[in-house]
Structure 1
Amino acid sequence: MKHPFLVFQLCLWGLVGTLNPLLAQVADVGTSLSLQQAQEHALSYNKEIQSARLDVNIAKKKVMETTGIGLPQVNVTGSYQHIFKVPTIEFVPGEKIPIMEANSTSFDFTVSQLIFSGEYIVGLQASKVYKTITEQALRKNEIELLQSVESTYHMALVLDENNKIVSQNLMLSRQTLTEMEAMLAAGMIEDTEVDQLRVNVSALENLANSLAGQQRNVLNLLKYQMGMEMSQPIVLTDSLGGFINDALPDVAGAFNPEQNIDYRMVQNQVEVQRLSLKREKSTFLPTLSAFYQHTEKLNAPLLDMTPKDILGAQVTIPIFGGTQRLMRVKQASLELEKAELTREQTANGLALQYANQQLAYETAYRKYLNQNESAQVSRRIFEKTHLKLKEGVASSLELTQVQSQYLTAISNYYNSVLEMLDARGQLQKLLAQ
């Protein structure tokens, strides 16, 4: 038969393992952090967020790069050539005149300008949409990070409260064991009563040591989320009670899926497909460009027929290129239709998710109320049983069972607290913009 304290220990280990745990206040000195401060620090120093911000900057540079295609293009080209056998022309019999220099150097100055290109216009629009996509991806990462830090911060406070309760019970059990050992020495009780208490104290010590290890691990997790050095001590300043008081189910009003970040990202994918369709259609349009070129030569020959200044324009009109372009247009049109269906499905899915999450929040709150009442009743039973033990009307085995029941109720209570806070966090995540 399993020892009742082992049951509680397994319950608490399960609590730590199934949620993203974190350390609360384990140091007397260190950086003091409220939840808001922890989230702000994470937004500034979390490596994934920093990487997402770099993606936004890269996208901005991509817009500038694409814009530059439509700006005037200026080039200067220099060339040198040596002719081993210079061509000549004979104007007078017996007298040959070279028409080129054996060694010549020339410089060309060229300015070109794209006047109209449908693909360029669509490409410029697409680059701006790409920048918006990276900005939305950054915002989504920020929302998820804020919710993750909040969940971890809550777990830190729960671990701290659990640690306090286990420490209090361990101190009380040691005190009771000392008193019972004195009674055993006086021959007032049997040794089995003392042995039972010794087993209880040992189980509580193991549990306290396990919690200490878990606290070190979750502290490192919080630092990792915030982008802090592992050696930096921190102290959490917000109280668990404050979060519980703020967790009353007060969410009301209609949910607008179009404000959700996931919906807006899907909407951008629709825009991408719409621009893809425009790009394929633009391949049927003509392209117009103009240029100006000026040439200077060193050692120019006497008879130089190359013009110094040239101004020109070029127009390309697609006439017929098989059915490829037409089929690409049809494919792009179908892809746009698919993206619009995905957008509608996302909106419906978000509405359903919100309704389910709101129900889960209200259910978790009612569960919290029940578990809170059970924990209070179990505490009173434990205190009365402990008093009966001192009065000699209860056995140590009975106290052990009642204490195990009390600690299990406490564990269930904090599980319900975390479940309620997590449900609220998930609901707020859906409402985040």
Structure 2
Amino acid sequence: MKKNLRLLLLAAGPGLLAPAGAALAQTAQPALGTTLDATSGTLPLSLKQAIDYAVQNKSTLLATRLGEQTAKAKVGEIRSAGLPQVNVAANVADNFKLQKSLVNFGALGGGASATTLTPGDIAAAQNGQTVNLGTVTLPSEPMPPQAFAFGLQWAGNTSASVSQLLFDGAYLIGLKAAKVYEELAQKQTQQAEIDVVEQVSKAYYSTLVARERLQLLSRNVQRLDTLLYQTNETFKAGFAEKLDVQRLQVQRNNLVVEQQKASRLTDLSVALLKFQMGLPQTQTVALSDSLSTALVDAGSLRRTLGAANFNTGGGVSGLGSVPTAPALDSPNSADQRAQDQQTALSGARTGQLAGAINYNNRIEFSTLETQQALAGLDLANRRAGAYPRLLATAAYGFSGSGLTAGDLFAFRGPDSRTGNGFSNQNWFGFGNVGLSLQIPVFDGFRRKYLVQQSRIQQQTIERGFETLRQSIDLQDAQSRTSLINALDVLDNQRANLSLAEEVSRVSRIKFQEGVGANLEVISAETGLREAQTNYYAALYDVLVAKVDRDKATGELFRKASN
């Protein structure tokens, strides 16, 4: 993204002149409120307002926040396992072919007698009909067991059951992990917000620089028009050659084309800003910040970086002779090499400054800490799989049967009687309460290997801490060096721009007075535009380097929120 923005800037050219000894940083403009409403008219937009709008409306951030809501729902899902579980069930079955069992009817009478049972009685019983049995003397040949159908063709039942978890070690650990998981989702959202702040800041600065450079090109065209008019009048009076007028005309045409290109690229930079904000492209915006309001003291910034000249408070102060470094007493000594290596590894900082970095300011470090906590809870959860699980259970319901569907749904209770006084009940209640204890004994070493995986995951995260620390140290050194270099280049290009402006001014005066050549004026104007381009490119590099520095130190989102 930084490379793309810089290419866009260099194509569009530089922006506004900055006062001596000043560098660029973010500014906090008064916000319009917690939200910035897009309207059909022109929308005034400060950097603070652009960031606020992007944080609240950027589509990628909205998607990330949905993940945060998913994490909250996951917490509720885990908690629900500890609440009473209530189930209600009902079913109806048509036993169109009743299951049969063998019954020894010959032994029902006991002793030397037995129950009277004819083949017709057996057939009726097998078909589910009621059979009245009598007692007779057993024959010499006992009756073999006979197939008998139990139940009726239509059967149904309904019940309600309740279970309550009393103890589960994995559940208790899961509750802790759920809160940590929700915290991790919040930190991932914060990381996405930091990325959006970075993108919007760079796009806003790119638009500012492109806009200011476009205004400067307009002033250059006006100045060249004045010079062309004066030269043409001098030619008409016979004191200048037509070739002088034509050279200036060519110069003006080139400058107008450059102005047109800058105008289109400025529009493109505005479109990029809208995209980074999540603002519709049809919305017209007017940037209310200016580069001059974003200036801070360069000397103070250099001292913060530990790279200032404490006598002048600045860096490059002129183009004098190159200073000569004093000779070392022992240039090849081991101590000197170790010191040079340490200096290089710390980004050319003193030992005190090199050790002052606070890793906890970086959201990546905090996120990794949360992931480490989750890994520890995951390990504890898998170990808890060996603990017993205790539940309290209760159930109550009714079951019934009937010869037909209508008979089943007659719902006859204990007081129901037939015409001859026999009980005719077809639905009966049942209920139970109890405890369910589940003790895992052997799972084929599955839990053992799950615990091994969790331990390895923990060790991997622990190794990641050292890698992340080294990465943060490198980013800190790189951002610091890049910002210092950008400030030095900006000072140098500012000095070059002042010289180019003076050369252009003197060459125009000499040409108007008749003591200078037209080619000298054109060369000076070309040099001025090149100096302007280089200056505003350096200006943008300082802006981007400052954003990168704030992100490396973990202060970007905090500053943007203030």
Provide TM-score, normalisation by structure 1.
0.87
Question: How far apart in 1 are the matches of 2:446 and 2:160?
Answer: 39
CA distance in 1, matches of 2:545, 2:74: 40
Match of 1:5 in 2: none
Matches within 5 A, 1:339-418: 339-418=461-540
Alignment partners' CA distance in 1, 2:285 and 2:271: 10
Residue 286 of structure 1 deviates from its aligned partner by 2.1
CA distance in 2, matches of 1:57, 1:291: 33
Match of 2:10 in 1: 15
- CA shift, 1:65, in A, is 1.2
2:131 paired residue number: 96
SS at match of 1:428: helix
RMSD over aligned CA atoms reads: 2.9
**CA 1:426–1:211: 2 relative to 1, 3 Å:** same
From 301, 304, 310, give the equivalent of 1:251: 304
Partner of 2:373: 271
Residue 39 of structure 1 corresponds to: 51
Q: What is aligned with 1:55?
A: 67
- Pairwise CA distance, 1:341: 1.2
Q: Does the 8 Å CA contact 1:258/1:347 hold for their aligned counterparts? A: no
Match of 2:175 among 107, 118, 124: 124
Q: Structure 1: how far apart are the matches of 2:485 and 2:424?
A: 98
Is the Cα contact below 8 Å between 1:117 and 1:288 reproduced in 2? yes
Take 1:116 and 1:205, find their aligned partners in 2: how far apart are those partners?
Answer: 81
Counterpart AA for 1:408 = E
What do residues 205-262 of structure 1 show as CA deviations (whole Å, max 9, x unaligned)? 1101101111111111111222222121111111201212266515367221022101
Q: Which has the larger radius of gyration?
A: 2
SS at match of 1:308: strand
Q: 5+ residue gaps in structure 2?
A: 1-5, 15-40, 109-114, 118-129, 133-148, 306-352, 400-410, 414-422
Equivalent pair of 1:357/1:427 in contact (CA under 8 Å): yes
Instruction: Give the number of aligned pairs.
Output: 414
Q: State the 1:85 CA deviation.
A: 6.6
What are the Cα deviations for residues 179-201 of structure 1, in whole angstroms up to 9, with x where unaligned? 22233333322222122111111
**What secondary structure is seen at the aligned counterpart in 2 of 1:238?**
coil
> Aligned residues: percent identity?
25
SS of structure 2 residue aligned to 1:75: strand
Q: Does residue 176 of the first structure (1) align with residue 248 of the second (2)? A: no
1:226 is matched with which residue: 263, 274, 277? Answer: 277
Q: Cα distance 1:77–1:346, how it changes in 2: closer, same or farther (>3 A)?
A: same
Q: Is the 8 A contact 1:294 1:310 kept in 2?
A: yes
Could you tell me whether the CA contact under 8 Å between 1:140 and 1:261 is conserved in 2?
Answer: yes
Match of 2:268 among 214, 217, 226: 217
State the alpha-carbon separation in 1 of the partners of residues 47 and 509 from structure 2: 40
User: Which whole-Å CA distance do the structure 1 matches of 2:546 and 2:461 have between them?
Assistant: 31
Cα separation, 1, equivalents of 2:443 and 2:158 = 39
Deviation at 1:305? 11
Q: Which amino acid aligns with 1:176?
A: L
Residues 321 and 179 of structure 1: CA distance in aligned 2, closer, same or farther (over 3 Å): same
Deviation at 1:125, TM superposition (A): 3.1
CA contact (8 A) 1:357 1:423 kept: yes
Deviations 1:336-363 (A, max 9, x none): 1121110122123213322332233233
Does residue 71 of structure 2 align to residue 78 of structure 1?
A: no
CA separation of 1:219 and 1:404: change in aligned 2, threshold 3 A: same
Distance 1:388 1:112, change over 3 A: same
Q: Which amino acid aligns with 1:42?
A: A
More helix by share: 1
CA contact (8 A) 2:12 2:210 kept: no
Say if 2:194 is the partner of 1:137: no
Deviations 1:4-32 (A, max 9, x none): xxxxxxx986614899xxxxxxxxx7111
- Structure 1: state its 5+ residue gaps: 1-10, 20-28
1:262 equivalent among 347, 357, 364:
364
* Cross-structure match for 1:314: 436
**Alignment match, 1:338:** 460
TM-score w.r.t. length of structure 2? 0.68
Distance 2:291 2:473 in 1: 31
| Equivalent-residue separation in structure 2 for 1:18 and 1:175 (angstroms) | 23
Q: Does 1:110 align with 2:178?
A: no
Kindly indicate whether the alpha-carbon contact (under 8 Å) linking 2:493 and 2:534 is maintained by their aligned counterparts in 1.
yes
